[in-house]
Structure 1
Amino acid sequence: MNYRFQNLLGAPYRGGNVVVANNNRLISPVGNRISVTDLIKSETITLPCQCSSNISRIAVSSDGNFILAVDENNRSQFINLHHRIVLHRITFKGKVSALQFSPNGQFIAVAIGKLVQIWRSPGFRKEFFPFELVRTFADCDDRVTCLNWSPDSNYLLAGSRDLTVRLFCLRKLEGFKNKPFLFLGHRDIIVGAFFGVDKKTDKVSRVYTISRDGALFSWGCPDVDSRLDELEQSDEEMAEPPSPGTPEKVEEGGAIIEGNVKKRKEFDGKGSNLIDEESEFFLHRIKWELLKKDYFMQAPAKVTACDYHRGLDLAVVGFSNGVFGLYQMPDFICIHLLSISREKITTAVFNNLGNWLTFGCAKLGQLLVWEWKSESYILKQQGHYYDVNCLAYSPDSQLLATGADDNKIKVWNVSSGFCFVTFPEHTSAVTALHFTANNNCLLSASKDGTVRAWDLFRYRNFRTFTTPSSRQFLSLTADQSGEVICAGTDDTFEIFVWSMKTGRLLDVLSGHEGAIHGLMFSPTNAILASSSSDKTVRLWDVFEGKGSVETFQHVHDVLTVVYRPDGKQLASSTRDGLISFWDPLDGILMYTIEGRRDIAGGRLMTDRRSAANCTSGKYFTTLCYSADGSYILAGGNSKFICMYDVAEQVLLRRFQITHNLSLDGVLDFLNSKNMTEAGPMDLIDDNNSDTEEGIDKQTRGKLGLDLPGSMPNRGRPVIRTKCLRIAPTGRSFSAATTEGVLVYSVDESFIFDPTDLDMDVTPEAVNAALNEDQPSRALILSLRLNEDSLIKKCVLAVNPADIPAVASSIPFRYLQRLIEAVTDLMEGCPFLEFILRWCQEICKFHGHSIQQNSRSLLPALKSLQKAITRLHQDLAETCSSNEYTLRYLCSTGMKK
């Protein structure tokens, strides 16, 4: 039961800004979670911490250790990226529109409405309230849209909706008016403002400002002499008359705050170096000049995202029509001008080296990383536009297929979290998926009236099953051999049977009087079980042609049906919240589970009753047995996934799939102050500012929200679980939810759970047995203690020549735990041949016991098979890419 959240698939990006840490770690918000993609290892993980609502802005420190995430409710979390934990929390007093760490990592600039606040970064300090407000700038006349720090962290550029960019000085210089310098002249909202650095002197020499109408202004500072003249004049006007004999006082950093003004001659010779070295403290005192105006010429498209790389002097700009441009500055030379989509680019950012460009499109859920020199994709991921309907695990648990209402099928690698193939051939919503036993074929059913078979080697549709007249399919299954395909319909209430080899329609099973929601073949025989809205579960003998052989009557509509892995039990869910367990051989009801109270929770905005009194949604729409059949998972139109013990019929655990308040049905109690005469305040859409500005507000597509003819709900989808599947290895399960596909797995840190403990079984006894060269005794003691680190230590301590003797001495009751430990070692241990020798000897000496108890050992054996298959694939790819090098080394070795 020790399942914990591991990853989020199906939605790599939904909005907000994307940042790159340590040059190869792409950090992007996904709903109220944060996804981290390693571009070198091609792996993606989702942090377990959640914000209270959808994340709007994120920022990462320059060293890549910390993330500051702010959600739509202005609540922020300060996260340690490496340990994946929340260190601090703070709530800002307004909507945060921009966020950035200073280059030295000491400060955080936050744009809150018209204000720019400078906070001291908490870091690793242990304090009661670590956030300290250092400065507040209230000079802007409208909402701040962008921020950019100078390389020395002394100055800050802030662009605003008032068409100006302001230059703020972080330090307070006494005796001077600390008014910001204004960069004027733009005719539209500022999208980006950046400091440009002179490559020779490594000093700030330019400022670039970009507005939404496609204008880029380049600003420069005059020469040193002009700067000195202006500084002297301003100092003389502001300074008080000096008293006789009063010594000069010079603040650290070279700024004159009191006393006589230094004469011009003091800046000659060595003095000029002083100005060069401390020029950063005078940037706000300089009158910047507008050097040139450039235009992107992409009207009527607007600039929606931009970024600038100081080292390469490059600017990248994304437009509302899906076009992006890469420009060499300051000459404004267009290097690339390409289109990547037809929707608005919502984020564009460089990596630290400047060789990769990252683009995000919130409406399509698309995330791209493009190498502009070689013009090739490093990463190209796109999630489902609408909610995911169905899931299917491959028999080896390495692949996960998803089907959604956007008519697409995606196949994901569970280990890396990447989608590697998309099948778009269906013309309507995909409702069911099924992997065949050989692991190479995927079946899909759709409401377009077709059942398709996909080849996962050649990535093509090699067989299409149809009916004489068009039907809408809701359910799908195949027998153990994969030769017979069955699909249930929504409109004619029939089950169609096809042959996989010929593609011919073999039979049509009639008898149901309602939509067929569930189909499944028995794992042990050829009996087909079907569930329908006509309040029955029917068993069919497909091969003998006897039709319906058994009917199980229910009181309410049956929503799903599943077999236990041993085929000796059948579970069905009905609309009254009951889970019924049947004996398919004797045809009797064994027991039921009342789940209405367990799944109840969460109130919709449109509900007129409280969550406790509302009856809608208090039933399970999807069920799934564990790999060993000891417990069952159940989910439905609720924020909870329930886990029940089958033998005792008790609730073991409830998983709350999300805490995201941006979704409907998460809160149990609604705030009465948000109710108005026109209805709930959250459902009243009175914000049309984005439409007025010519940029449509973009939200990720949701079923029932963005479909034609549906009522808008301000982007508030209802939380639900549409499908649950447990991996054949039993180590993880996936849930197709409104948030995406949530993957839960057994935690890597093993909980202490001894098998056969007494006074003599201690870690000291294990170490003593190893020191006395008794590997068999040490391994058995560690297995009895069931301590993961000790078991692995004892396995690695065995001499290769002694592996057969030690493997044969292990009792059968410890065999499953030993196989699990060997599987973990294979995934991360460099001694490949040594671990494979262990696997060989275990199978050789315990083969008969494994065969007799294959059902109980099946999850562990599936995990071992998955690890071996993955390792074999990695080695095959490495050897094929180095084939000629290996041939050369072998030939030279033979000559010697």
Structure 2
Amino acid sequence: MNYRFQNLLGAPYRGGNAVVTNNTLLISPVGNRISVTDLIKSRTLTLPCHASSNIARIAASPDGLFLLAVDDKSRCLFINLHRRVVLHRISFKKPVGAIKFSPDGTLIAVGVGKLLQIWRSPGFKKEFFPFELIRTFADCDDKVTVLNWSPDSNYILAGSKDLTARLFCVKKLSGFNKPYMFLGHRDVIVGVFFGVDKKTNRVSRVYTLSRDGSIFSWSYSGIDGKFDNNAEPPSPGTPEQLPNQSGENEGNGNVKKRKHFDGGDGNLDEESEILLHKGKWELLRKDYFMQSPAKLTACDYHQGLDLVVVGFSNGVFGLYQMPDFICIHLLSISREKITTAVFNDLGNWLTFGCAKLGQLLVWEWKSESYILKQQGHYFDVNCLAYSPDSQLLATGADDNKIKVWTVSSGFCFVTFSEHTNAVTALHFMANNHCLLSASLDGTVRAWDLFRYRNFRTFTTPSSKQFVSLASDQSGEVICAGTLDSFEIFVWSMKTGRLLDVLSGHEGPVHGLMFSPTNATLASSSWDRTVRLWDVFEGKGAVETFSHTHDVLTVVYRPDGKQLACSTLDGQIHFWDPIDGLLMYTIEGRRDISGGRLMTDRRTAANSSSGKCFTTLCYSADGSYILAGGSSKYICMYDIADQVLLRRFQITHNLSLDGVLDFLNSKNMTESGPLNLIDDDNSDAEDGVDKQTRGNLAYDLPGSMPNRGRPIIRTKCLRIAPTGRSWAAATTEGVLVYSVDESFIFDPTDLDLDVTPEAVDVALSEDQPNRALVLSLRLNEDALIKKCILAINPVDIPAVASSVPFRYLQRLIEAFANLLENCPHLELVLRWSQELCKAHGHSIQQNSRNLLPALKSLQKAITRLHQDLADTCSSNEYLLRYLCSTSTKK
């Protein structure tokens, strides 16, 4: 029951800007969630907090502790990255075009529509008004698009759609009422940056970049500060010059009076004041990237190296040395628009994102090598499959690709793209090194996960569309169900020959599964039947279970003694496959209902369309079942009592259709819902295609009733063999839910004398078996591990035999957790061996209850074994040398 959201796979990047903190942490938005990738450890995690719609802009504090995330609805989250919690929330009144922390981390600049607002950054303490508005500048004539701070946090450069860049002073100074304007661009400003003189360590240049591919370099003149008070200002809107130094104009506001504003704790240095807004800025040079007709869509500047990186709408990026505008690299990474480009702190890594392809790249420009290369599925994920050891997760989608992910790191390490149509079913073989896939292109393929190649292809005499897949326990027979001919094809795994064709269904065969205990094949079809087949004896259909509605899917319980199938009327039927009797029926229409589409004429409570389960999955012990379908909910049922245990809402993203239960009537017009009326011309202004993602059906003519808004649904559910996690293929991506790392306090056999102090006393009195039993009764994870490590290896056989069987599952789970974070592999293996010797018969009799814990332990041991094998093989010759030298000595 204690499953919580852990990670989001299948969509590393979907739009918005990416940021790099602490030089190695890459933070990027994924829909309405935020993904954090450790570029050194090659791990990615998704924060459990989420916005109300797709995130458009993010900004990280200079120390990498806080994060600001603004969604499409202008709602902002202030997140503590280390704790992964939302500290504060605020809503802006206009769309946010840019947001950025000041270099000292005390202020936040936000471009809200035409306004530039300066807010004081919140801290750790709880406040009634955590965000304090310091200043508002209303000088821009159009939407603010980009922002940048000066190194001393006293000045801000802002570029907008009015083709100008402006220099604002944060402090309130008399005589400086209007910003300095940088003019001359002929398109929207997409980048503004301060250049620092390395000798004086002061701002001496400004770079402005526009969407038409031009970069203007501005230099400051009159650094000595000697200005004529009667001279004309350098450009319209430039403030008055400084008063003379004799103090005669002190009443008009001299430097001493300008050092504080609004009670702020920052001072304006006199020299920096003269340097930036009292001098004359000159246009040093104009340069062009010469990529027409492509538009410049992303850029970044590194002050220390004086480098500029730019990305274009045709997938080309360039790296230039400034101020001489020397091209270092000019390469193409895709054919789609680059939506973000950013340097890391050291400037040796470049991060690029392409929203349309779901692509995220980190490139080291000096060695010209990839640090990270991740790409999600372009369309919705159709199917999932866990490997037998629960370490790998395979996904197949409508983009014809199969991706294999490492569950612990969240990284995709191989992509298979040989299929020419949508991938509809996946299945891991028992040996963990072979993956099967079925596709609408009429082939079933077998993939070798050692050599990463397609080593066998199963075909039929005439082209068919396969939508289901199954393999027997021995891996000798492969079966696939079809969408068009309503048949089941049977192949030999060794020879690849077609063995048999099972006929009898009168509708598409969407469900197929072998019994875990024998060679019986179960199939479900839209012809309202579930059929059992004897594949090896060639007897054909041996049993038929009839239903009153179309059967959508079928699954076996892990022990093979029960069969579950879902029907179009929203019910789940449980059958006894041995006696052919109906055991239970769960009515789930009301449980899965929820969410109203924009085009629905009825409320969510009264709507009858789509209220059914399209995917089912048993738990590892078979006591409960997960069910999902065309809804924002995934339901968990207790089978014996036929009750709903829990409903998981897979998303709160209002950018998707079917999330809201009640629609606001004020958004309804005579022409239909206001959200579906496309009156936005921003894409035509940008000169690039609109970035959309979703199901393949949404991109077909005449099949887009909601104008590209993806409808939330669950297409596939799979529980890991360990039982500690499960994955769901949804419109949002592949959601992975897992139990907590540290157990919630859940004691058993608690008494007054069962306390942590009693455990310590038992350990001090050299009573390891009593201490271990007390810790197991308390069910405190830290105490159990403490007792395990405190037991002498010589005493392990005696202690293992004295542990009561009812605590055995908890002890095995503790061993699995212990292996994740400690180096005591031999100790755990010794414990496992002694537990099998002492309780082998009991474990065998209660294998169903102990299976999830045993699978978790096996997964942890297998992972360590692979790590050690890789380390030893890579250091084989070094180990031989060390052994030979030790022998000689």
| Maintained 8 Å contact 1:254/1:278 | no
Alpha carbon RMSD of aligned pairs, Å? 2.1
- Correspondence for 1:683: 676
- Correspondence for 2:303: 310
Cα pair distance change 1:38/1:256, threshold 3 Å: closer
Give the CA deviation at 1:856.
2.0
* Deviations 1:457-478 (CA, angstroms, capped at 9, x unpaired): 1111111111111111111000
- Correspondence for 1:40: 40
Give the CA deviation at 1:763.
1.7
- Correspondence for 1:260: none
* Deviations 1:149-198 (CA, angstroms, capped at 9, x unpaired): 01111000000111110000000113x13211001111111110000011
The answer to whether structure 1 residue 413 and structure 2 residue 412 are counterparts is no
Cα pair distance change 1:206/1:781, threshold 3 Å: same
Q: Report the AA paired with residue 136 of structure 1.
A: T
The answer to whether structure 1 residue 739 and structure 2 residue 732 are counterparts is yes
What is the DSSP-based 3-state SS (H/G/I as helix, E as strand, rest coil) of the residue aligned with 1:704? helix
Give the CA deviation at 1:397.
0.3
Give the CA deviation at 1:855.
2.4
- Correspondence for 1:768: 761
| Maintained 8 Å contact 1:605/1:680 | yes
- Correspondence for 1:651: 644
Matches within 5 A, 1:569-584: 569-584=562-577
Matches within 5 A, 1:205-354: 205-225=204-224, 227-230=225-228, 251-252=255-256, 278-280=271-273, 282-354=275-347
What is the DSSP-based 3-state SS (H/G/I as helix, E as strand, rest coil) of the residue aligned with 2:491? strand
Give the CA deviation at 1:861.
1.2
CA distance in 2, matches of 1:893, 1:486: 56
1:812 aligned to 802, 805, 818, which one? 805
CA distance in 2, matches of 1:238, 1:829: 66
| Maintained 8 Å contact 1:231/1:285 | no
CA distance in 2, matches of 1:236, 1:581: 83
Cα pair distance change 1:469/1:525, threshold 3 Å: same
| Maintained 8 Å contact 2:300/2:343 | yes
Cα pair distance change 1:55/1:276, threshold 3 Å: closer
Cα pair distance change 1:747/1:241, threshold 3 Å: closer
2:742 aligned to 722, 743, 749, which one? 749
Cα pair distance change 1:6/1:866, threshold 3 Å: same
Aligned length: 878
Cα pair distance change 1:474/1:229, threshold 3 Å: same
Matches within 5 A, 1:509-588: 509-588=502-581
- Correspondence for 2:708: 715
* Deviations 1:786-840 (CA, angstroms, capped at 9, x unpaired): 1211111111111222222222221222111111101111110133333333233
- Correspondence for 2:501: 508
What is the DSSP-based 3-state SS (H/G/I as helix, E as strand, rest coil) of the residue aligned with 1:814? helix
- Correspondence for 1:67: 67
What is the DSSP-based 3-state SS (H/G/I as helix, E as strand, rest coil) of the residue aligned with 2:647? strand
| Maintained 8 Å contact 1:230/1:286 | no
Cα pair distance change 1:286/1:125, threshold 3 Å: farther
CA distance in 2, matches of 1:206, 1:883: 55
CA distance in 1, matches of 2:752, 2:564: 44
Q: Report the AA paired with residue 220 of structure 1.
A: S
The answer to whether structure 1 residue 475 and structure 2 residue 468 are counterparts is yes
Q: Which moved more, 1:762-771 or 1:98-107?
A: 762-771
Structure 2 residue ranges without an equivalent (≥5): 234-238, 262-266
Matches within 5 A, 1:353-432: 353-432=346-425
* Deviations 1:219-247 (CA, angstroms, capped at 9, x unpaired): 1101434x322468589978699999989
Please report the TM-score for the alignment, with normalisation by the length of structure 1: 0.95
- Correspondence for 2:170: 170
Q: Which moved more, 1:140-149 or 1:753-762?
A: 753-762
* Deviations 1:619-678 (CA, angstroms, capped at 9, x unpaired): 100000000000000000000000000110000000000000000000000000001111
- Correspondence for 1:201: 200
Q: Which moved more, 1:134-143 or 1:876-885?
A: 876-885
What is the DSSP-based 3-state SS (H/G/I as helix, E as strand, rest coil) of the residue aligned with 1:228? coil
- Correspondence for 1:266: none
Q: Which moved more, 1:826-835 or 1:499-508?
A: 826-835
Cα pair distance change 1:246/1:550, threshold 3 Å: closer
What is the DSSP-based 3-state SS (H/G/I as helix, E as strand, rest coil) of the residue aligned with 1:697? coil
- Correspondence for 2:21: 21
* Deviations 1:245-272 (CA, angstroms, capped at 9, x unpaired): 9899854498799xxxxxxxxxxxxxxx
- Correspondence for 2:774: 781
CA distance in 1, matches of 2:374, 2:823: 31
Give the CA deviation at 1:706.
2.0
- Correspondence for 2:85: 85
- Correspondence for 1:154: 154
1:834 aligned to 827, 830, 836, which one? 827
Q: Report the AA paired with residue 139 of structure 1.
A: D
| Maintained 8 Å contact 2:427/2:470 | yes
What is the DSSP-based 3-state SS (H/G/I as helix, E as strand, rest coil) of the residue aligned with 1:221? strand
The answer to whether structure 1 residue 97 and structure 2 residue 97 are counterparts is yes
* Deviations 1:69-99 (CA, angstroms, capped at 9, x unpaired): 0001111110000100000000000000111
What is the DSSP-based 3-state SS (H/G/I as helix, E as strand, rest coil) of the residue aligned with 1:517? strand
| Maintained 8 Å contact 1:253/1:278 | no
* Deviations 1:767-802 (CA, angstroms, capped at 9, x unpaired): 110111111110011112212111111111112222
Q: Which moved more, 1:656-665 or 1:780-789?
A: 780-789
Give the CA deviation at 1:388.
0.4
Taking every aligned residue pair, what percent have the same amino acid on both sides? Answer: 80
Q: Report the AA paired with residue 78 of structure 1.
A: F
Structure 1 residue ranges without an equivalent (≥5): 258-273
| Maintained 8 Å contact 1:307/1:317 | yes
| Maintained 8 Å contact 1:706/1:712 | no
Matches within 5 A, 1:854-865: 854-865=847-858
| Maintained 8 Å contact 2:223/2:279 | no
The answer to whether structure 1 residue 50 and structure 2 residue 43 are counterparts is no
CA distance in 2, matches of 1:442, 1:855: 26
What is the DSSP-based 3-state SS (H/G/I as helix, E as strand, rest coil) of the residue aligned with 1:597? helix
CA distance in 2, matches of 1:15, 1:245: 53
The answer to whether structure 1 residue 9 and structure 2 residue 4 are counterparts is no
Please report the TM-score for the alignment, with normalisation by the length of structure 2: 0.96
* Deviations 1:316-340 (CA, angstroms, capped at 9, x unpaired): 0000000000001111111100000
| Maintained 8 Å contact 2:229/2:241 | no
Give the CA deviation at 1:207.
0.4
Give the CA deviation at 1:732.
0.2
The answer to whether structure 1 residue 135 and structure 2 residue 135 are counterparts is yes
What is the DSSP-based 3-state SS (H/G/I as helix, E as strand, rest coil) of the residue aligned with 1:846? helix
CA distance in 2, matches of 1:25, 1:350: 12
The answer to whether structure 1 residue 111 and structure 2 residue 111 are counterparts is yes
CA distance in 2, matches of 1:191, 1:289: 20
* Deviations 1:94-131 (CA, angstroms, capped at 9, x unpaired): 00011111110001111011111011000213211100
- Correspondence for 2:435: 442
CA distance in 2, matches of 1:780, 1:236: 81
What is the DSSP-based 3-state SS (H/G/I as helix, E as strand, rest coil) of the residue aligned with 1:70? strand
The answer to whether structure 1 residue 665 and structure 2 residue 663 are counterparts is no
Give the CA deviation at 1:865.
1.1
